[in-house]
Structure 1
Amino acid sequence: MHKAYGLYVHITWHTWRRMRAIRGRDVIHVAESIREAAARCGVHVHERAVLTEHVHVLVSIRPDTALSSFVRHAKSESARRIRRKGNGMFNWARGYFAEFISRTHLRAACVYIARQHRRHPDLVPT
């Protein structure tokens, strides 16, 4: 039996009260947590951007993937790592935003996310 699907999702989530709490040294913890959550949940990450107060991730998922599980794992593990490395007050806000992207708009969505640091130079973690 052949199965084909093309489910692409642009996800964003932000820090508690949109505080600019993500520092340069925290970016690796967020990125690694996203990668590990993706592997754990069977999600493929196409692009991501980590800014001081929010994150963008473009993923492809299977129809049986629980998107909420991926986001929960990425947020909880990254917060745990950031707190452990010295930012003890770090918290993500509750929830996330997600929108499906058509295959025809996939490239544009990747470019949009890849250019977040240029779009928001004041939000680049240092």
Structure 2
Amino acid sequence: MANTYTQIYIQIVFAVKGRKCFIKEEFREEVQKYMAGIIGNKKQKLFAVYCMPDHVHMLVSIKPDVSLSTLVKDIKVNTTIYLKQQGFVNGGFSWQEGFGAFSYSKSQTPQVVSYILNQKEHHKRKTFREEYIEFLEKFGVEYSDKYLFEFYE
């Protein structure tokens, strides 16, 4: 796209269906590297990714010719295949429908990267549900409890 210049930073959040703790610590880094590869192959830039056992946070810089929904779908579909092929999960694994996406300015990216990479510590103090609803409210996103992720706390 000639003469098109953008700076789009998005934090993406999505969860394992049923909020089951499928992403184990022993293969978490491999899954994160695989996700990074998907994003790189789509010519997008990954700043940070952290897989909790039941959900994922990532910060990406996307180009305007890429649909955010398509990017997330590609990450979910290909990661599901990878997880099953590697024997990391059983046939019952899948991601929940939907995702959260929150935009940031370039000056905010260091704080967002730090936040994402410190998920393990962060969730010692706050549940995923509390965190996710806080994001929705902070960003002024209207939502219905009916369509939020399945939360089992």
**Residue in structure 2 matched with residue 83 of structure 1 by the alignment:** 84
Q: Between the two structures, name the one with larger relative contact order (CA 8 Å, sep ≥ 6).
A: 1
Between 43-52 and 111-120, the greater mean CA deviation after superposition: 111-120
**Residue in structure 2 matched with residue 30 of structure 1 by the alignment:** 31
Give the alignment partner of residue 119 of structure 1, picking from 113, 122, 146.
Answer: 122
State the Cα distance separating 1:33 from its structure 2 match. 2.9
State the Cα distance separating 1:3 from its structure 2 match. 4.2
Structure 2: gaps spanning 5 or more residues: 128-153
TM-score by length of 2: 0.71
State the Cα distance separating 1:121 from its structure 2 match. 4.7
State the Cα distance separating 1:116 from its structure 2 match. 0.7
2:73 counterpart letter in structure 1: R
TM-score by length of 1: 0.85
Q: How many residues align?
A: 123
State the Cα distance separating 1:69 from its structure 2 match. 2.0
Matched-pair identity in %: 23
| Alpha-carbon contact 2:40-2:46 (below 8 Å) kept | no
* Pairing 1:102–2:105 present: yes
Structure 1: gaps spanning 5 or more residues: none
Tell me the distance in 2 between the aligned counterparts of 1:74 and 1:49.
14
Tell me the distance in 2 between the aligned counterparts of 1:58 and 1:51.
15
**Residue in structure 1 matched with residue 149 of structure 2 by the alignment:** none
State the Cα distance separating 1:22 from its structure 2 match. 1.1
Q: Secondary structure at the match of 1:104?
A: helix
| Alpha-carbon contact 1:15-1:93 (below 8 Å) kept | yes
Q: Which of the pair is proportionally richer in strand?
A: 1
String of CA shifts for 1:11-33, please: whole Å, max 9, x gaps: 01000011111112342442133
2:106 counterpart letter in structure 1: R
| Alpha-carbon contact 2:9-2:60 (below 8 Å) kept | yes
Tell me the distance in 2 between the aligned counterparts of 1:64 and 1:100.
17
Tell me the distance in 2 between the aligned counterparts of 1:2 and 1:69.
24
* Pairing 1:92–2:111 present: no
